[in-house]
Amino acid sequence: MVQRQLPNPAELLELMKFKKPQLDGRKRRLDAALTIADLRTIAKRRTPKAAFDYTDGAAEGELSLRRARQAFQDVEFHPGILRPAPQVDTSVEILGGPSALPFGIAPTGFTRLMQTEGEVAGAGAAAAAGIPFTLSTLGTTSIEGVKAANPHGRNWFQLYVMRDREISYELTRRAAAAGFDTLQFTVDTPVAGARLRDKRNGFSIPPQLTLGTIINAIPRPWWWYDFLTTPKLEFASLSATGGTVGELLDAAMDPTISYDDLAIIRDLWPGKIVIKGVQNVEDSVRLRDAGVDGIVLSNHGGRQLDRAPIPFHLLPEVRRAVGEDFTVMVDTGIMNGADIVASVALGADFTLIGRAYLYGLMAGGRAGVDRTIAILRTEIERTMRLLGVASLAELEPAHVTQLTRLVPVAKGASGYVVR
């Protein structure tokens, strides 16, 4: 029989531990966010539907994005045992400079529409964390504004080749003059993808006050207050706006972009140049042989060609084809620090986060971006410790198995066979 007694008041007092109430609402909600998915939930609650869907959505049926995220979930890790890693080194040398973590902030367009601090928040958070920040050609803060927000950190610039080539050339010169050290030459946007959420929402730049947007704004007055009481949106390249995002892209981009354009930009740019939007092994090898400094395996976050290749699945084969000394980065679908660890193990030198950063921005401005980076850092460190590795250099393909739900069909002499 269990012996029972009346509770001891002194022992009860020891058990009663009350947290000091957090009066800062922003800090309270960000502290409660333990994952990037938690930040996404907060962002959706605080951001008007059209702006949130622009960030969250992808092209057509959004298959490319779902498959990319599923690929990271379909990872099996293989930890080593009795390999203590009480301290882990997450730093990396990338494109001639340091990064405290194996990821940087990817270029995102129209960022101040997500939350008014926009690229300034992203650049400042990147500077504090010691990681690179990338400004998009379609960013809403100028090249010089990002440099002012991140004067001593690493700034990268993402370049679209536009119909008016002189716009692209001038942007290249400005980024070089501002001390940006790496150019991401983007090649997967000859025309805009069909971003159906934007069409259904009537999403335009700048946002229009319609009956629908007004109704959606009622529970989110803070977003509209910020939007209407801060400086007019400033684009890094476009001098005129108006129309949907797809219409703006189609007006600006040029489907005739070629290796000749790459050669011209290469001559204009004094720093490192990487090609963003590579989606097969053959192009990876050709670009290496063309003398670029690296590539980003990317399907543009699923926002261009739906049913595009999954960058994470391409990674091992591309690494084998281009060799160990060529810089290979990867983006699309990263939502957890374990995704980043798996990418490094399979051959990525570096990774880029886009939506994860924007979810944090929408959830809490600069503090939200800081929270994004802190969450990913914690997940990276914990995953490394559980794998038994003390540095990124110790990660290798043997630590990861890529499980797959999508099995290719190969055509043989006797017809189609599954392999």
Asked whether the predicted pLDDT for residue 139 surpasses 60, the reply is yes
pTM for the model:
0.90
- Whole-number percent of the chain with pLDDT over 70: 90
Q: Decide: 235 and 140 in contact? Cβ < 8 Å.
A: yes
What would the pLDDT profile of 178-196 be if each residue is shown by its tens digit? 999 999 999 998 888 888 8
Q: Residue 415 has what pLDDT? A: 47
Q: Residue 86 has what pLDDT? A: 84
CA angle in degrees (0–180, nearest 5) for 226-232-234: 120
Element (H or E) spanning 365, and its range? helix 355-387
Q: Residue 419 has what pLDDT? A: 46
Q: Residue 414 has what pLDDT? A: 43
- Picking from 308, 329, 354, 373, the residue whose alpha carbon sits closest to that of residue 110 is 354
Q: Residue 316 has what pLDDT? A: 96
- Picking from 323, 320, 321, 348, the residue whose alpha carbon sits closest to that of residue 334 is 348
Q: Residues with catalytic annotation?
A: 300
Asked whether the predicted pLDDT for residue 210 surpasses 70, the reply is no
Task: Quote the CA–CA distance of 107 and 241 in Å, as a whole number.
Answer: 19
Q: Residue 60 has what pLDDT? A: 94
Distances (CA, A) of 299 to 189, 226, 351: 10, 32, 14
Neighbours of 374 (CB within 10 A): 15
CA angle in degrees (0–180, nearest 5) for 183-392-403: 90
Element (H or E) spanning 411, and its range? strand 409-412
Asked whether the predicted pLDDT for residue 410 surpasses 70, the reply is no
Asked whether the predicted pLDDT for residue 211 surpasses 80, the reply is no
Instruction: Point out which residues pair with 353 in neighbouring strands.
Output: 105
**Where are the extended beta strands (E) located within 279-331?**
294-297, 327-330
Query: Which of 196-200, 269-273, 353-357 shows the lowest per-residue confidence on average (mean pLDDT)?
Result: 196-200
Q: Decide: 375 and 355 in contact? Cβ < 8 Å.
A: no
Task: Quote the CA–CA distance of 26 and 222 in Å, as a whole number.
Answer: 12
Query: Which of 171-175, 190-194, 209-213, 286-290 shows the lowest per-residue confidence on average (mean pLDDT)?
Result: 209-213
Q: Identify the residue with better confidence: 364 or 22.
A: 364
Neighbours of 224 (CB within 10 A): 17
Question: 370 is written with which tokens?
Answer: 């800081």
314, 320, 326, 332 alpha-carbon torsion, rounded to 10°: 10
Q: Phi and psi (nearest 5°) for 50?
A: -65, -45
For 387, what's the count of Cα atoms within 13 Å in the CB-facing half-sphere? 26
- Whole-number percent of the chain with pLDDT over 90: 67
Asked whether the predicted pLDDT for residue 19 surpasses 60, the reply is yes
Domains assigned to the chain:
25-403 (3.20.20.70)
Q: How do the residues of the chain divide into helix, strand and coil, expressed in percent and rounded to 5?
A: 45, 15, 40
How would DSSP label each residue in 219-233? T-HHHHHHHHTSPPP
Confidence category of residue 335, pLDDT binned at 50, 70, 90: very high
